[in-house]
Each structure stands twice: as structure tokens, then as C-alpha cells.
Amino acid sequence: MDKSLRRLIGAGLVALLMAGCAGQQGMVETLRGGPEPAELLAQAQSQSGPEAARTRLQAADILARRGDNAQALKVASAIDASLLGESERVQWALLLSRVGLEQEDGWSVIQATALLEDDIAMSRDDAMTLRYRRGLALGLVGEAQDAARTLIDLQRDDAPFDLNDAIWRQLSRLRGQTLDQLASRGDPLATGWVELVRLQRRNGGDISGLFARIDEWRARYPNHPAARRLPSNLQALSELRGQDVRHIAVFLPESGPLANVAQAIREGMQARHMNALDQGEQTPRLSFYDASRGTLNTLYAQATMNGAQVVIGPLDKDKVSQLEQRDSVPLPTLALNYGTAPSNKADNLFQYGLSAEDEARQVAKRAWLDGHRRAGMLVPDNAWGDRVADAFRDAWLQRGGSLAAVTSYDPEASVSSSVRQLLNVTSERAQRDMDMLFLLALPSYARQVPPTLAFYYADDLPIYATSHLYEGRPQPRADHDLNGVQFIEIPWIVPEAAVGGENALPFFESYQKLRSAGEPALFKLKAMGVDAYELARRLPLFEAAPGTEFYGATGALSASSDGRIHRDLPWAEFTNGVPQPPLRDVQKIMFGNGSL
């Protein structure tokens, strides 16, 4: 389980987890001297429906108590809870929701908490526990608005544990209309939360200004839970007052093969800098150094002598690899690429870039959370394809998935031959064993894959892809064959899918200035420059609170323990050839055709 989720189900929820398990003591055998789960599961095979369901629940409970949450989840999720008595159904829901959270299987938790809509008697603590777990699970499956609403409603009902960090995490993922809808309920609790997150976004790079605004907010909402205790990320910021970054040195090449990339990044940084000035923010001074001249040691010496506090750069992968092998760097540094070492060893070194490997890992996570377990892979037969395939494979296998088929294709060869190999086609029909396909391809190749799958009667195979299959601008005629394909992309490229429209984009003024009919790949680099500027302003915060998440032009950004910045990108799905928000079945799972 990732660290952020462990924090969310920390001290406050632990007591409720234990309380939720306590009611099962009368039903299940103790761990010592009782039956083995395998014996119980075998016994259930010869029992009638209700009796078999109770026996399987007993087996799942023992597995969970032994720490085998993966197997407990598998057993519990397969139980037909309608065959259980009311008290047993509550015990089943508590067990399934607990192990579901432990395994980061949000859909199983949502399935379990659907019990809340049934007319079943349960204690207040059990109901609160299930509601809390539902809120966390909705966040896990990407439904941040419903997650925030669920958790805020729980807080309004005086839940006996601290919800501030959980609520803040979900609100931090919302933009535009979704925030407006929360605030439009006329509820001071929700409105206070929305106002707090908005002022944090307006002043996030100006710590002193931010806390002056927070003091004003507290005066308006003196009884708000966040007025009594700020979310942890804001508390960490409060300790950094007076430590604002005032001078940033930028190491970018002005000549050589990376000069055009560097120029696009520089344009993004400068655009964001000017917009921050126009909005009255306290902005750092920017000093640019030609990284194509001189050594890293020389550049650092010059920047230190000139009073820089933070460095952005270098961009060259080899130079980043050199830095990450050091024990530390002379100044806190945000490198604009990732090194080649397995981990970053240098203190105060952060690494940020538009990594395809990061996207592959996110695809693995989404496909797993959507319930898929047997993946197929269609990736190019080159060094880039190998790197991205390795990232997907590692992430997928770590979650417990299996690889049913892997095909490395020649980008210049026929798509049909690669798909035939992937599907093990016999007599023009697919003999596939996969339940999803990970696709890494450029647009011209990707557009041919769904029609070829359909030709071999595999058009029902869900396809998950990286951003590389989209050219970056709507082309309904060209992209109509990609209908139904889900992919990830930076918010600035898919504003409708990401935030419900351009006006809700992060750093909208910079977006307006930089957006043009030019090359989408350069526009992505400009967006990277915007986020690099904002990340550099926040490096003291990332050092003080490593779990901090920042929502920018290129996604939700957070730092791992070794300083590597990871991007969490919004999902989009092609509908009529245009990227739109993907359709999820959360409401149907919880309420049939109801709504939150």
C-alpha cells in the first residue's frame, strides 16, 4: 500500500478497523487450534448456499487475521452476501472493505459498502467505518468529487476520528465545476473547505501571503474543523514561513541537441513567472546559466556566489546521472530529467520530467483497480519500448497480475501481423487469455490497432494506453477508430477530460499565453516549464513534507522518498474521436441508478 493511503488509514481509522473486527469473534475460530482456511473452503464445496457462504466468510476472516489479505480479498469478494444473515452481512462488509483498502482494491470496498443502502441494522461505529472506507475507496478509483463529498458528509455527522487530511487529499484533486458543485450546496462546512483549497492554490508559492489569507479565512470560519487543525500539508507549510525561495538559478543549454527542448521549457517558466508577478505574488528572481558551457561544479559555484537558493536543471540525462551518484548537491536542485541509477542517492536532489515509464506504471495501477488481472502488451521493438514495457511489467507483477501475451512490434511493419501474434489467432479468431491490453504506440500505429482487433473478433478487449497515441489536438476523423480506448495525458492537453474545461485548468493565464497552433510536443515542454518553476518554489515544502502533492499543468506531482517526482495524470477516453472523461460505474455499483 502506498504511503499516502497508510497515512489516511492511520491512527483514527485503526481503532475503527479493530472495532469492525471485534464483532466477528463469536463467529470465527481463533487462530490457534481452529480449522485451516483451506479445510473450510473445501468444506464449503459440499454445503448449501447460506451455510457455504458462512463457512467461506469464516475462512476469509482467518486469512485476514493471519495477514494474508490478498487471499482473504479473493475469498471474501466471491461470497454472495445475500445468502448471509444481517449480522453476518455487516461482518462481511467490514472484512471485505478492510482487506480491500489494504490491497488498494477500491472497487471491492465500494462493493462492500453498498450494504449501507440496505435496510440493515448496524452499530453507529460500524456505519461510520463503512462510510469512511467508502470515501477512501472512491478516491482510490479516481472519483475525487464523490470521495470528498462522502468524507465531508461524514465529518458533518461528527465522525469520531480526524478526517481533515483525507478530505484535503481529495479536494486537492478537484478543479472548476467539481469544486463549484461542492460549494453550491449552501453548507458552511463544504464551502469552508472549498474556499481553503482555492486560497492555497492562489498563494501556494508565496508562503507568507498564504498564511495571511488563512488567518482571514479562520476569522470567517472559526468553528471549521480545518480552523482547529489545518491539514498536515498546510501545517508543514506554516513551519516554512520566512523561508520562501527568493532566487532560482536555471541550468539550461543554449546550444547543442537539447537547445530547442530547453527553449520551450524556458518559455514556460518565464510565462508562469510573469503571470505570478501580474497577480501580485511574491516571486523569486530567475537567473539563467548556459549549461552547454562549463562543468556542473562551475555552474553551482557561480549560482552560489550570486545568491541562488535553488537550482532548476540540468536537462541532460547523463549530467543528472552524475548528480544522483553524489552524496549531496551544493544547492537544492530540481533536475529536469531522470538519471539511470536504480535510485537517487544525493540529498537535496529532486528529479522531474515527462517520463513514459511513469505513465506505464499508472496504466498498470488503473487496469488493476478496474479489476483486470491478465494483461497483454503491445509495445515497439526498440530501446524505448523495452524501458516502458519493463516499467509496466514490474508494476503489474508487483500488484499480483499476470502477463498473458507480450508482443514487441516493428513500427514500420504490418499492424495485422503483430495483432495476430498477440492474440494467437487460429482460423481468423483470437485464442486470447488476456482481459486487457497495454498499448504503447504513436498515433499512426495506434489508430490501426482497434480495427484490427475487431477483425479478429476481439473488439471487446479493453485497451489502456499512454499519452503517446494522442497527437495533442482534437481530430475526430483521424481518431474515431480509437473510440473506447482509455489513455492518460497531461491536464493542459485534455482540459475537458481533466477538469471539465479550459477555465478550470491550473495556471490558466499561463495556459492562455502559451497555447498556440504550434507543435503539441513543444506545448507539453512549456507546460513542464510552468510546473518546474512552481516545483522549485516549493522545494522547501517537499523537503519538509515529502508526501506533499502539487496539482500542476502536467498532472498531480509528488516526490518519492528518493526525490524523484512522480506524475499522476488524468484519464481520458475517446468518444466520437475526441478525448472525454472516461465513464465509470461507481454510482451503479453503490446505488443502482441512484446518486450520492
Please indicate whether residue 517 or residue 27 has the higher confidence score (pLDDT).
517
**Domain range for 367:** 357-489+572-587
Per the domain annotation, does 363 fall within a domain? yes
Per the domain annotation, does 284 fall within a domain? yes
Per the domain annotation, does 524 fall within a domain? yes
485 and 515, same domain (yes or no): no
Radius of gyration of the CA atoms of the chain, in A: 26
State yes or no: pLDDT of 12 exceeds 70. no
**Nearest one of 404, 422, 450 to 577, comparing CA atoms:** 450
The contacts of residue 172 (CB under 8 Å, 6+ apart) are 197, 549, 551, 556
The C-alpha atoms of residue 105 and residue 99 are separated, in whole angstroms, by 8
Count the helices and strands in the chain (H runs, E runs).
Answer: 29, 15
pLDDT at position 2: 44
433 and 578, same domain (yes or no): yes
Q: How many domains does the chain have?
A: 3
43 and 134, same domain (yes or no): yes
Pairing of strands 555-559, 374-380: unpaired
pLDDT at position 320: 96
Q: How many CB atoms lie under 10 A from the CB of residue 74?
A: 17
Per the domain annotation, does 240 fall within a domain? no
Per the domain annotation, does 448 fall within a domain? yes
Please indicate whether residue 217 or residue 186 has the higher confidence score (pLDDT).
217
Instruction: 587-596: list long-range contacts, CB under 8 Å, 24+ apart.
Output: 589/107, 589/110, 589/111, 589/114, 590/110, 590/113, 590/114, 590/117, 590/134, 591/114, 591/117, 594/117, 596/146, 596/149, 596/150
Query: In the 8-state DSSP scheme, what is residue 426?
Result: B
**Are 445 and 417 in contact, with CB atoms under 8 Å apart?**
no
366 and 467, same domain (yes or no): yes
- Strand ranges (DSSP E) for 466-562? 486-488, 549-552, 555-559
pLDDT at position 205: 67
Last residue of a domain, one of 102, 117, 141: 141
Lowest mean pLDDT among 25-39, 170-184, 267-281: 25-39
423 and 313, same domain (yes or no): no
Distances 210 to 69, 202, 291, 553 between C-alpha atoms, Å: 42, 8, 34, 21
- Give 283-332 as a DSSP string: --EEEEEETTSS-HHHHHHHHHHTT-SEEE----HHHHHHHHTSSEEEEE
50 and 82, same domain (yes or no): yes
Place 119 in a pLDDT band, splitting at 50, 70 and 90.
confident
The contacts of residue 197 (CB under 8 Å, 6+ apart) are 168, 171, 172, 174, 179
| Average pLDDT rounded to a whole number, residues 417-444 | 90
pLDDT at position 475: 95
| Average pLDDT rounded to a whole number, residues 211-215 | 89
Place 322 in a pLDDT band, splitting at 50, 70 and 90.
very high
91 and 133, same domain (yes or no): yes
Query: Domain holding 480: CATH number?
Result: 3.40.50.2300
**What is the per-residue burial (b if ≥16 Cβ within 10 Å, else e) of 183-219?**
eeeeeebbbbbbbbbebbbebbbbbebbbebbeebbe
Place 20 in a pLDDT band, splitting at 50, 70 and 90.
very low
pTM of the predicted model, to two decimals? Answer: 0.80
Last residue of a domain, one of 116, 141, 166: 141
State yes or no: pLDDT of 583 exceeds 80. no
State yes or no: pLDDT of 512 exceeds 90. yes
Instruction: 85-88: list long-range contacts, CB under 8 Å, 24+ apart.
Output: 85/50, 86/120, 86/121, 87/23, 88/27, 88/53, 88/54, 88/57
Per the domain annotation, does 201 fall within a domain? no
- Give 22-80 as a DSSP string: HTTTTTSPPSSSS--HHHHHHHHTTS-HHHHHHHHHHHHHHHHHTT-HHHHHHHHHTS-
**Are 308 and 324 in contact, with CB atoms under 8 Å apart?**
no
pLDDT at position 594: 37
549-577: pLDDT as tens digits: 888 999 989 898 889 999 999 999 999 99
**Nearest one of 109, 112, 169 to 137, comparing CA atoms:** 109
119 and 259, same domain (yes or no): no
**Are 101 and 9 in contact, with CB atoms under 8 Å apart?**
yes
44 and 104, same domain (yes or no): yes
State yes or no: pLDDT of 80 exceeds 50. yes
pLDDT at position 13: 43
52 and 124, same domain (yes or no): yes
Per the domain annotation, does 443 fall within a domain? yes
583 and 438, same domain (yes or no): yes
Distances 87 to 19, 27, 83, 360 between C-alpha atoms, Å: 14, 10, 12, 43
| Average pLDDT rounded to a whole number, residues 392-416 | 95
User: Beta partners for 405?
Assistant: 376
State yes or no: pLDDT of 7 exceeds 60. no
State yes or no: pLDDT of 130 exceeds 70. yes
The C-alpha atoms of residue 400 and residue 103 are separated, in whole angstroms, by 10
Place 591 in a pLDDT band, splitting at 50, 70 and 90.
low
463 and 539, same domain (yes or no): no
45-58: pLDDT as tens digits: 999 999 999 999 99
pLDDT at position 584: 61
The contacts of residue 400 (CB under 8 Å, 6+ apart) are 70, 368, 373
The C-alpha atoms of residue 254 and residue 299 are separated, in whole angstroms, by 14
Per the domain annotation, does 347 fall within a domain? yes
